Amino acid sequence: MKDRLYTWLSGMMLGLSLIMIASLLGFILYMGLGAFWPRPLWQVEDGTGKVYLGVVQGREYMRDVGRGTWDVGSGFTRTFYRIADREFYGTDFVWLNDHEVIRRTKPKDAVVVERLEWGPFFGFIRGIETPEAKISDENRLLPQLHEEMRAARARAKKIRHIERHVIGKLNDAMERERLALRRNELRYGLGAQGMERVRAAHEEAMRRLEERYGKIAEELTVLRSQDEAYRVTLATVEGFKKELPISSIVRVHAPNSLSWFGRLGVYASRLKEFIFDEPREANSEGGVAPAIFGTVLMTLMMAVAVVPFGVLTALYLNEYAHKGPLVSAVRIAVNNLAGVPSIVFGVFGLGFFCYLVGGTLDRLLFAERLPTPTFGGGGILWASFTLALLTVPVVIVATEEALVAVPRSYREASLACGATRFQTIWRVVLPSALPGILTGMILAMARGAGEVAPLMITGVVKLAPELPFDLNFPFFHLERRFMHLGFHIYDVGFQSPNVEASKPMVFMTALLLVGIVLMLNWAAIVIRARLRTRFQGAQI
Amino acid sequence: MEEAVRAQEAAMEIQDLNVWYGTAHAISNVTMPFREHQVTALIGPSGCGKSTLIRCLNRLNDLIDGARIEGRMCLYGQDLYDPNLDVSALRKRVGMVFQKPNPFPKSVYENVAYGLRVNGERSRRVIDEVVERSLKQAALWDEVRDRLHKNALGLSGGQQQRLCIARTLAVGPEVLLLDEPCSALDPIATGKIEELLYTLKARYTIVIVTHNMQQAARVSDVAGFLLMGELVEFDQTETMFTNPTDKRTEAYITGRFG
Ligand SMILES: Nc1ncnc2c1ncn2[C@@H]1O[C@H](COP(=O)(O)OP(=O)(O)OP(=O)(O)O)[C@@H](O)[C@H]1O
Ligand SMILES: [Mg+2]
């Protein structure tokens, strides 16, 4: 009787946890996946003659407080519209009381224009102007704009290539020159013999680089002014005109006349931008590619750092150390380490890795760059190490459990064959414990990928100008600061000037983070399954 | 009869062996030789210290926290507890098969090759040769020749035990310690292993622990009877089983206690 009660109780608890997890995931999925779906644009007129063009964001029931009754019938509903056009309205959103609205239509030619600045624009296309032609035929405007955008994208790509790569390379070369001079100065002293010649050579090299820079800048100005000549004129629903270069438009569509497939196309295009592009507009729009890259790279680096560290510690504790009060104390300390608030690890990481280790490295290897820190500040390497430290107890505990679970008879058999202790560990104990060790790694990765607090002081930034990987030697720049999805959620959701507008980003980013953690874990689980069949035999 | 026992040279010898687990005295003052090319059987009731005794012979008791060993033991005159002794080299000379089959979770081939691999043997040809020879010696070759690269845990219990014997033989030991090798086996597998002991005797010195009196009588040349950590009687097997000196031995052998 009692037995059955306990079975029920534990079953219910399991069910409860499952329901909570499922509803959390479901909520994020619903909010995130729906965010990019193009929704209709409503043209709304209220009694005062004001007209709005917006997307419905929500609706709520207001109780009529004035009359002080609790009757359901005595209130009214109001609707929350996103009206965009920030430069004209100053705000992105309005609440409109439904009973004051006198007309609500869905104009076929209303467009949503996503642009590089000022957020989206809801309105109408009035005209297109290119050096070759002026178009104002209403039916041709949207297709023509799409066509012009393709051409504009090619121009923008060229400009961006010059800005990024050509100028980037030049800057890199100048920096190298400056550092080379500084290195020589540090090594031989400012007034050393021959320093004059070195300095003259440096100046000559710099002058040549500056010259090239000037030429490229000129070229850029020309390209930009050419690009500026392709313009589109937009108008808000109230008739305010807005003219902007076509290349500053990211995407344009008329949601009210889109077919289902058309909507799907817009959705796919937004999703693609989200995953593969860089953020725009203080992170509230555009993509999160750098944050994805930073999260994955950091998690992998952390896993690579934490496993050997944790496994060696566990091996020592379990295989070599003589059991006694000291080992027990160490074990307790390790377990308690898991309970230290993660921000404390962050502070430790900042003090130890960034300032002490990084600072020393800077003095020894990168003296010419000082006082600008190289490794002496936050960076992805130190952030990974800090997280490795944070998650090492997980790996130690999991590994110890795995080691204890290796049957004693395996060790005895190995030793009886004349294997040394190390050979026994390496050839018999570790392979048998490997799945358990990988479980520890999986847990550590799951814990580490979602951790934000310690990263905020060891290297995460809201917008990293450069990835920790690029095509400039030595390709991996592990000293660089980086972006992280977890921090991105915090930043976009709570630090951005326009929190309401960036809500979809928050949910999508959360979804993505969960997805990435899931994928990393899944990969590790697949590897573990492979190893398990390889080392332990499937057919038992 | 002592004369007869001493006729051959002792491969291993223990003198005044005492073993404690913490405060429990597991072996007290045991002195006995293990003669070359003979099968020595150790019999006695459960918990009398048989396993403890043979585990001293390859120093496996070193692994047990709290075990304390006193006395003199040698392998061909060399002190086993000489601090300069290379323990793993010793264990290569004194192989051991355990009470329960304990193959590694590797392939049949890798199990047998294990001793060679830890010895640094790299030649594929040599390893192939030794694996085949050892498996043949252990009377297992015909049963596993076409599943050499399958996991050893898929073998039956009796096959696993013979695999463990092959694994031990592949190392090339001089002394073979067998701790109740047949306790988990059916009569047919037991018979195979007993046959095996006959053939191995010519090359190895064998110490076998067994609970089976018939087995002891069948396979061993000399036998020792242990009781509560003491060696009560040690003699030619034939003598011990037909005409035991000690009352307790007689009682145990005839099945009146233990
Ligand atoms: N690791 C250990 N720690 C403490 N005591 C032990 C340990 N191993 C054995 N003993 C004790 O030492 C005594 C001898 O044990 P041993 O295993 O040698 O007996 P055995 O003769 O092999 O018995 P069996 O026939 O059941 O295998 C027993 O009383 C046992 O409880
Ligand atoms: Mg035993």
Do A336 and A196 sit in the same domain of this protein? no
User: Encoding tokens for residue A90?
Assistant: 């100053």
Determine contact, residues A51/A88, Cβ cutoff 8 Å. no
pLDDT in tens, A121-177: 888 888 888 888 888 777 888 888 888 888 888 888 888 888 878 888 888 888 888
- Ligand 1, from B17, B23, B43, B51: best to mutate by most atoms within 8 Å of Cβ? B51
Determine contact, residues B212/B206, Cβ cutoff 8 Å. no
Considering only the beta carbons, identify the residue of A412, A419, A539 that sits closest to B118. A419
- Predicted pLDDT at A30: 86
Which of A433, A448, A483 is the C-terminal boundary of a domain? A483
Q: Let me know if residue A531 belongs to a domain.
A: no
Cα–Cα distance, A338 to A390 (Å, whole number): 7
Q: Are residues B102 and A540, on separate chains, in Cβ contact within 8 Å?
A: no
Do A348 and A379 sit in the same domain of this protein? yes
DSSP B112-133: HHHHHHHTT---HHHHHHHHHH
Do A86 and A147 sit in the same domain of this protein? no
Do A339 and A375 sit in the same domain of this protein? yes
DSSP A306-319: HHHHHHHHHHIIII
Do A50 and A177 sit in the same domain of this protein? no
Q: Are residues B115 and A418, on separate chains, in Cβ contact within 8 Å?
A: yes
Q: Is the bond preceding residue A371 a cis peptide, omega within 30 degrees? A: yes
Q: Let me know if residue A180 belongs to a domain.
A: yes
Do A420 and A313 sit in the same domain of this protein? yes
Q: Which domain holds residue A404?
A: 292-483
Q: Provide the whole-model pTM.
A: 0.79
Do A325 and A446 sit in the same domain of this protein? yes
Nearest Cα residue to atom 26 of ligand 1 = B46
Q: Let me know if residue A167 belongs to a domain.
A: yes
Query: Taking the mean position of all CA atoms in its chain, how far away is CA A534?
Result: 36
Q: Are residues A535 and B106, on separate chains, in Cβ contact within 8 Å?
A: yes
Do A123 and A145 sit in the same domain of this protein? no
pLDDT in tens, B74-131: 888 888 888 888 888 999 999 999 988 899 988 999 999 999 999 888 889 999 999 9
Which of A127, A150, A184 is the C-terminal boundary of a domain? A127
Q: Is B40 in the pocket of ligand 1 (CB under 6 A)?
A: no
Mean pLDDT by 10 residues, chain A (540 residues): 87 94 89 84 85 86 64 75 82 83 86 85 86 80 84 86 83 83 78 78 86 88 86 84 85 87 90 84 77 88 91 89 86 86 90 85 74 76 91 91 90 91 91 87 85 86 73 72 86 79 83 86 83 58
Q: Let me know if residue A499 belongs to a domain.
A: no
Which of A210, A229, A248 is the C-terminal boundary of a domain? A229
Determine contact, residues B204/B175, Cβ cutoff 8 Å. yes
Q: What is the CATH number of the domain that holds A362?
A: 1.10.3720.10
Q: Is B119 an 8 Å CB contact of chain A? A: yes
Question: Domain count of chain A?
Answer: 3
The three state secondary structure string of A444-485 is HHHHHHCCCHHHHCCCECCCCCCCCECCCCCCECCCCCECCH
